[in-house]
């Protein structure tokens, strides 16, 4: 059993990932470190918005950054965080199967 404080910490990390842009950034960083300019190019968003999303991920320790020339390079600090996505996919697939069973019973 975890403590309430541990639950708060875990929920803050999950909240940091709970945005489509941040999920896409994490998926992209799974391939390895990426420059801000590359990450920014993935989205039709302004630089400050992408920067804010990266800041949220940095604040929770999901990503780190380092300066490289004129650009910042971002790295997925704990790659196993993407294992969570597999679990989420399993929940989605399970829900679809349950809904299909319900439809078949009608």
Report pLDDT digits (tens) over 21-51.
999 999 999 999 999 999 999 999 999 999 9
Please tell me the number of Cα atoms within 13 Å of 56 on its side-chain side: 19
For a pLDDT cut of 90, what percent of the chain falls above it? Answer: 73
Residue 103 placed within a domain: no
**62 pLDDT more than 70:** yes
Name every residue whose Cβ is closer than 8 Å to that of residue 86 and which is 6 or more positions away in sequence: none
- Residue 32 token pair: 């390895």
What is the extent of the structural domain holding 11? 4-78
Which pLDDT value is given to residue 95? 87
Residue 95 placed within a domain: no
Q: Which CATH number fits the domain that encloses residue 55?
A: 1.10.10.10
Residue 89 placed within a domain: no
Across the chain, mean pLDDT equals 92
Total domain count, the chain: 1
**15 pLDDT more than 80:** yes
Structure confidence at residue 18 as a pLDDT band (50, 70, 90): very high
Residue 106 placed within a domain: no
Measured in degrees and rounded to the nearest 5, phi and psi for residue 55 equal -60, -45
């Amino acid at each position: 059993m975890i403590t309430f404080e541990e639950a708060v910490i875990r929920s803050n990390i999950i909240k940091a990932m709970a945005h489509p842009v941040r999920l896409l950034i994490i998926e992209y960083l799974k391939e390895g470190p990426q420059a801000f300019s590359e990450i920014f190019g993935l989205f039709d968003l302004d630089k400050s918005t992408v920067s804010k999303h990266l800041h949220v991920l940095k604040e929770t320790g999901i990503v780190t950054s380092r300066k490289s020339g004129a650009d910042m390079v971002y790295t997925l600090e704990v790659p196993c965080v993407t294992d969570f996505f597999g679990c989420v996919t399993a929940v989605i697939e399970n829900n679809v199967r349950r809904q299909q069973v319900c439809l078949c019973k009608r």
